Amino acid sequence: MPISDCKIIQLPKIADPRGNLTFIEGGRHVPFEIQRVYYLYDVPGGSERGGHAHRDLHQFIIAMSGSFDIALDDGVEKKRFHLARSYYGLYVCPMIWRELDNFSSGSVCMVLASNRYSEADYIRDHAEFVRVAGEQARNSGP
């Protein structure tokens, strides 16, 4: 899938003097049904996470606290996003290489995923990813 399919999605924000509320409904606010939720926290300064692609998994990534950057790569084009608010997130479609870095102190990264964990869905070698993405692009051409 092209990197242009990955985008920031604004979530509902109900403002209240007692504290704001945001909610997410699978298939409505994110373009998939949510099968799994996980989060990253206590990431040491200077560390990177990600460094892989998924063959079939859709993800929605949110900075629940603090901030971090996400670098995306579809094998041809690269794009970088900065996440810093809990009322929007980044939709990442399948076959996109992702790297997360520049975590602020105390940041929490929550990920909503379309499928349960499957090691077979991961591509952990960038050269292999570029090869597979290129094959898919050639096979889905005009």
Catalytic residues, which ones?
52
Task: Please check whether residue 42 is in contact with residue 53, taking contact to mean a CB–CB distance below 8 angstroms.
Answer: no
What phi and psi, each to the nearest 5 degrees, are found at residue 62?
Answer: -130, 140
Tell me how far CA of residue 53 lies from CA of 27, 32, 107, 130, in angstroms: 22, 18, 22, 10
Q: How far apart are CA 38 and CA 27, in angstroms?
A: 18
